[in-house]
Amino acid sequence: MKIIFIGTGSGKTSKERFHSSIFLESAAFNLLIDAGDGVAKALMNSSIDFNSINGIIFTHYHADHFTGIGALITQMKISGRKLELTLFTHKNLVEPLINLLYYVYMFPETLGFNLKIIGYRFAEKMIVAEDFSFMAKQNSHVVPKGGIEFYPESMCISSSLSFTIAGNSIVYTSDVGSPNDLYLFDTLKPDIYITEMAHIEPEDLYLVFKKINPAKMFITHIDDEKFNKLVDWYDNLDDALRDKITICNDGLVETLG
């Protein structure tokens, strides 16, 4: 299987990086994690065929993780897609997703392919395909702000994810609210640990690596303004740690057994 980092930028638009998206390619199922603004072009830059995507999972609905979905499905329709597409989102966010697609005129009856939307629950194992499953846990990235009229409690959803794919264990923190969220899957020793960088400091990365002890760590969701600080931190690591930690760029490919 492969992990392809489609977009590695933060919420702030960058000339160097697309917004958040990761592609998990396996023999059983090809899954896109998040679909940030501009994801259709980002996929083209990584030479990913829109119609090779079997499913898309959303961690939360901030624009840099979510708002590219309408344009992406539009491109699938234009290209004559026939293969079924499955969208995975938290059960509380199914209706907003349906509404968004409706308001950008992506009506299921006119797509030319079957669109399935599945609502997942926290701490529940979800079987995607044979030897491909995931579990979501809530982190603290999205919290009520300004009262219920701005952020209804039912929509305060932000997920960190763990995957088991063809014997490989992968943890993806997505965006976090505090360093504590980095440890939501601390009982696992994953082969791959993918962590964001925009809302934490390099020192937090060192601590989580030492505690979780993954085979490899990948750093994404990188803010341009923090990039030099991140590189300085990385350059001061010992050789053994640098061999296990990668600062991601758009298009980076990691192949697993």
Task: Write out the chain's pLDDT in tens, 257 residues.
Answer: 999 999 999 999 999 999 999 999 999 999 999 999 999 999 999 999 999 999 999 999 999 999 999 999 999 999 999 999 999 999 999 999 999 999 999 999 999 999 999 999 999 999 999 999 999 999 999 976 655 556 677 788 999 999 999 999 999 999 999 999 999 999 999 999 999 999 999 999 999 999 999 999 999 999 999 999 999 999 999 999 999 999 999 999 999 98
Tell me the helices (H) and strands (E) count for the chain, helix number first.
7, 14
Instruction: Please report, for the domain that includes residue 91, its CATH number.
Output: 3.60.15.10
This prediction's pTM: 0.96
Paired sense of beta strands 216-220 and 132-138, if any = unpaired
Positive or negative, the Cα torsion across 123, 125, 128, 132? positive
Task: Tell me the residue ranges of DSSP E strands in 145-244.
Answer: 159-165, 168-172, 192-196, 216-220
Structural domain of 108: 2-255
Cβ distance 11 to 64 under 8 Å?
A: yes
- Tally of domains in the chain: 1
